[in-house]
Amino acid sequence: MTAAPTDTREPLLQVRNLKKYFPIKKGILNRTVGSVKAVDGVSFDIFPNETVGLVGESGCGKTTAGRSLLRLIEPSDGEIIYQGRNLVDLNTKEMRKVRRKLQIIFQDPYSSLNPRMTVEDIIGEAIEFHGVAKGDEVRSMVESLLERVGLQPSYVMRYPHEFSGGQRQRIGIARALALNPDFIVCDEAVSALDVSVQAQVINLLLDLQDEFNLSYLFIAHDLSVVRHISDRIAVMYLGQVMELADCDTLFGRAFHPYTQALLSAIPLPNPRRKAHRVILKGDVPSPMNPPSGCRFHTRCPSCYEPCRTIQPTSVEVEPGHFVACHLYDPEHTTKDSSTWKSLPDLQWIAKGGAPANLPPAVQRVIEELTGTPPPETDGDRGVPEEDATPEEEDATPDEEDATPEEEDATPDEEDATPDEEDATPEEEETPDLDESDEELDLEASSDMEETEKS
Ligand SMILES: Nc1ncnc2c1ncn2[C@@H]1O[C@H](COP(=O)(O)OP(=O)(O)OP(=O)(O)O)[C@@H](O)[C@H]1O
Ligand code: SF4
Ligand SMILES: [Mg+2]
């Protein structure tokens, strides 16, 4: 999953087929008996001044991917191209020089700062080590960095325990900035902070990005936070990237069943609105022995024949939007309507059939099933034009998802009570997907439990 072929920008970093297998050793002889496939063939590009969000369930390999691409842990395979060189091929001395430009901010501001060192030592260490400044110059550099991240320059002689969590994270950011980097991995950089402090730190990161032309790989659990900061988002599952798209596309029209399930879990800000939350059954399988074929097949509601045996390849379903799912692969897609109906979210079909940019073979399948020709979007990645009435543009997320009947609602209907809005799926008429005139089931399939939240 890389950049769109139409994208003419020069990437800052190109990650190709990155793998990290941790060996499992056992016995007195410490024999390798297996491996944890923490990252298993991840590819993406990061452009200058861009933030790529990396999301996925705990243990899916986000941290390992972030650290491997800085070579803080040695990748097992793959390429990391930076300034025309493959970082994996660099020796220790060469890597040390490059590392100045590639930094990391850690999740836990309490454990990532040495409690026995002053702020001056923590931030100044790298400045001195890399010969950027010496003596008094280091102190004044540290002071100006502290000021830049919103801390008092006079704090230079303080120790980490004298700061709050948010302030410590600012020290971590100052440390990462000290060597004037191009790229920073922010590994759950705001996850340990409370919401108001999170917002301050994110705004600081955004300001610094503009000021220093930085690129970020922003690793986080919280999709709302990732949405706020990212230009593009990669969704990981069990060591692999399942979907990659720009932020608006991913939130507006996610195709992968896993992404759709993750998005359904985001709480809605309006308590009167119902959320169709899809809870995936079962645990994430072990990365020691990942499922064959599609790694998500053991939990996917749309799993069908090729999924158990053939690993999906990443398909660029529309410019810059990559999905690793057989449904969107012209070679393996299916005309079986029940498989399509099992997708957690079919609103994008309900809104007007297949997006015009889907691969033609997949488009034909959806057209055949829905009887709807694709809307003319002339390459636009947004919602099909015909959907964008002024009312809808102002609509809340749920209103945007309204069925045709709801869109034609009279003012009275629009002012419906919560009960009316909580219409059961049967009450919502949607376009037919099946030739047999069955109603499109926009809810989760029987393979998934669904809870409704007010
Ligand atoms: N040093 C290690 N040795 C063996 N296995 C490891 C090691 N580090 C990580 N793993 C395993 O690799 C997998 C991915 O771990 P990783 O920390 O990258 O996940 P993550 O997505 O960052 O999770 P979280 O969201 O909880 O931080 C996990 O199964 C983990 O147990
Ligand atoms: S439909 Fe198949 S390939 Fe697509 S996510 Fe589900 S199991 Fe994987
Ligand atoms: Mg992690």
d(CA 220, CA 128): 32
Ligand 3 centroid to residue 59 C-alpha, Å: 7
Mean pLDDT of the chain: 81
**Closest Cα to atom 25, ligand 1: which residue?**
58
Out of 96-105, 273-282, 444-453, give the one with best mean pLDDT: 96-105
CB 65 within 8 A of CB 18: yes
What letter would DSSP give residue 65?
H
d(CA 40, CA 283): 19
**Closest Cα to atom 5, ligand 2: which residue?**
325
Q: What are the pocket residues of ligand 1 if the criterion is a CB atom closer than 6 Å to any ligand atom?
A: 22, 36, 38, 56, 58-64, 221, 287
For residue 296 and ligand 2, the question of a CB distance below 6 A is answered with yes
Question: 150-161 burial, b for 16+ CB within 10 Å, e for fewer?
Answer: bbeeebbebbbe
CB 362 within 8 A of CB 333: yes
d(CA 314, CA 331): 12
Helix or strand run (H / E) with residue 383: none
| Ligand 2 nearest atom to the CA of residue 301, by list position | 6
| Ligand 1 nearest atom to the CA of residue 288, by list position | 29
**How much is the pLDDT for 354?**
66
Q: CB-based contacts of 381: which residues, under 8 Å, 6+ apart?
A: 246, 248, 249, 318, 319, 320, 321, 357
Expressed in angstroms, the distance from the first to the final Cα of the chain is: 37
How would residue 272 be classed by pLDDT, with cut points 50, 70 and 90? low
What letter would DSSP give residue 163?
S
What letter would DSSP give residue 41?
E
**How much is the pLDDT for 1?**
60
φ, ψ (nearest 5 deg) of residue 283: -90, 165
For residue 232 and ligand 2, the question of a CB distance below 6 A is answered with no
**How much is the pLDDT for 374?**
53
Ligand 3 centroid to residue 157 C-alpha, Å: 31
State both tokens at 66: 């972030």
d(CA 344, CA 193): 32
Average pLDDT over residues 72-89: 96
CB 368 within 8 A of CB 333: no
**How much is the pLDDT for 224?**
85
Q: CB-based contacts of 267: which residues, under 8 Å, 6+ apart?
A: 275, 453
How would residue 275 be classed by pLDDT, with cut points 50, 70 and 90? low
Helix or strand run (H / E) with residue 242: strand 240-246
**How much is the pLDDT for 446?**
37
Question: pLDDT tens for residues 200-222?
Answer: 999 999 999 999 999 999 999 88
For residue 328 and ligand 2, the question of a CB distance below 6 A is answered with no
CB 273 within 8 A of CB 398: yes
Task: Centre a 10 Å sphere on the Cβ of residue 386 and count the other Cβ atoms it contains.
Answer: 11
Average pLDDT over residues 67-96: 95
**Closest Cα to atom 7, ligand 2: which residue?**
297
Question: pLDDT tens for residues 297-350?
Answer: 999 999 999 999 999 999 998 889 999 999 999 999 999 989 998 888 887 776
The answer on pLDDT for 270 being more than 50 is yes
Helix or strand run (H / E) with residue 149: none
**How much is the pLDDT for 450?**
42
d(CA 275, CA 125): 49
**How much is the pLDDT for 8?**
67
Among all ligands shown, which has an atom nearest to the Cα of 57? 1
Ligand 1 centroid to residue 285 C-alpha, Å: 13
d(CA 69, CA 67): 5
The answer on pLDDT for 257 being more than 70 is yes
| Ligand 1 nearest atom to the CA of residue 236, by list position | 21
Among all ligands shown, which has an atom nearest to the Cα of 236? 1
- C-alpha 25: how far from chain center: 32
Q: Which residue has the higher pLDDT, 289 or 441?
A: 289
Question: pLDDT tens for residues 113-150?
Answer: 999 999 999 999 989 988 888 888 999 999 999 999 99
State both tokens at 40: 């298993």
d(CA 404, CA 427): 12
Q: How far is CA 101 from CA 5, 182, 223, 230, in A?
A: 27, 5, 27, 20
Look at strands 51-55 and 31-46 and give their pairing. Answer: unpaired
Average pLDDT over residues 15-38: 92
**How much is the pLDDT for 326?**
97
Tokens 């069925």 identify what position?
A: 403
d(CA 284, CA 295): 10
Question: pLDDT tens for residues 397-421?
Answer: 444 443 344 444 344 444 434 444 4
Question: pLDDT tens for residues 141-193?
Answer: 999 999 999 999 999 999 999 999 999 999 999 999 999 999 999 999 988 88
What letter would DSSP give residue 286?
P
Lowest mean pLDDT among 232-246, 267-281, 318-332, 351-365: 267-281
Share of the chain above pLDDT 90, in %: 56
Question: pLDDT tens for residues 348-382?
Answer: 776 666 677 788 888 888 888 777 665 554 443 33
d(CA 189, CA 106): 6
